Structure 1
């Protein structure tokens, strides 16, 4: 996975809000918020937040699909 960056989180009581470049990406509540707060101490916070928000696609999927080496692979 490419380097994740630009993520931040804030805690509001039992709720955790994860933002990406200042925009709200996901809100965790209850058990998921507690699990996140425990994991963020042990793991890389940026990578963890990228995984939780599903920030894997980078916008180049259409370009890659149209690349000459990938032509003929439609439908896979």
Structure 2
């Protein structure tokens, strides 16, 4: 899977963190969530962290596989 790209975050004076993806607002974090996000960004890959926090980390075949006939029954594993 390709690495996420196009995420940018901005820290406001009131402590709010706004995450944008390709120029569009994707998430706004306040309080403790903003603090946890900032700590995680400093510790890891910022693009991947922002993709995970915004829910924009599912690309490609994950969405397609969910709709496949063998995955609709709710069963797991092989038959």
> Would the TM-score normalized by the shorter structure come out above 0.5?
yes
- Moved beyond 6 Å, runs of 4+: none
Q: How many pairs are equivalent?
A: 72
- Counterpart CA distance in 1 for 2:17 and 2:46 is 13
More strand, by proportion: 1
- Residues 38 and 59 (structure 1), Cα distance of their counterparts in 2 relative to 1, 3 Å cut: same
C-alpha distance after superposition, 1:8-62 (max 9, x if no partner) = 0001121000001110000000111112112211110000001100112326534
Q: TM-score, normalised by structure 1?
A: 0.76
Partner of 1:3 in structure 2? Answer: 3
Q: TM-score, normalised by structure 2?
A: 0.73
Q: Unaligned regions of 5+ residues in structure 2, if any?
A: 75-79
Residues 1-76 of structure 1: matches in 2 within 5 Å? Answer: 2-13=2-13, 14-58=15-59, 61-62=63-64, 64=65, 70-76=68-74
Q: How large is the Cα RMSD of the aligned pairs? A: 2.2
CA apart distance, 1:72: 4.3
